[in-house]
Each structure stands twice: as structure tokens, then as C-alpha cells.
Amino acid sequence: MKSRQNITDIEITKEGLTIKVVRFSYQTPVAVELLEPVITNELTDNGDDFVEHQTGIYVTDQYHSPTTSKHVNQFIYHPSRADKGGSVRKISPAMLAALIYPVGDSITLLSPGSTRG
């Protein structure tokens, strides 16, 4: 599998429909576009609770490098994004991972220049 400029985008599908698009910069997940809500089990002020994360774009709040920041911005402002980055939520790397996993039915590596990445 080949990526371009140290960027890898994967599409996660469930029952044949795309539910998430994930951007990796180098080998680190840095952004995810949720196309359907995701429920996570996380520690809240009231103790462990299930939290529903709405559709939209979530990016890591951890700074890695100027190149990784560029990769995140390219993902946010890609022409396929409906709101062109208007509703981006910054979250911790651990929370970003929780939104990505568990994986649905299928993972597809998106080719460079695809309409989703």
C-alpha cells in the first residue's frame, strides 16, 4: 500500500456504506470525518457514561510538526467536506482513537487524489 507525501487516508465502511474517513500523517491518526454518529464509553463528570459524538470532523489537539499540521488542514479543507472545515472539533489523541475503533465491516485505502481524502 502506498501513500503520498507521508499521508494515508482510509475509508471505513459498514454494510457497504462509508461511515468514517481517517487521515494518518506518517503513521499517526490525526483526523477523522464521521459520517454517522459514534457512541463511546468515556469517563465524564458523572462517572463512566456513553457519549454520542455527532457527525463532522474531529482532529487531534496534539501538535506534531508543521508537516502534520499541513496534512490536517488539507483534510479539513478538502473540497469533499460539506462545511469546508466550519465545524471542526479538536480532541485528544486517545479520544480520536476511540472514534476510529472499533472498525466497521471494511477498510479501504483511498488512492492519492481521491474525492474523499
Per-residue model confidence as pLDDT tens digits over 38-83: 888 776 666 667 888 888 999 999 999 999 999 999 999 887 776 6
Q: Rounded CA gap, 71 and 31, in Å?
A: 9
Q: Rounded CA gap, 58 and 75, in Å?
A: 10
Q: How does residue 1 score in pLDDT terms, banded at 50, 70 and 90? A: very low
- Cell numbers at residue 64, please? 506534531
Q: Do the domain assignments include residue 41? A: yes
Q: Which structural domain, as residue segments, surrounds residue 46?
A: 7-109
Query: pTM (2 decimals)?
Result: 0.79
Q: Do the domain assignments include residue 117? A: no
Q: How many domains does the chain have?
A: 1
Query: For 40-57, b where at least 16 C-beta lie within 10 A, e where not — what string?
Result: eeeeeeeeeeeeebeebb
User: Higher confidence at residue 117 or residue 58?
Assistant: 58
Mean residue pLDDT of the chain comes to 81
Helix (H, G, I), strand (E, B) or coil at 40: strand
Helix (H, G, I), strand (E, B) or coil at 107: strand
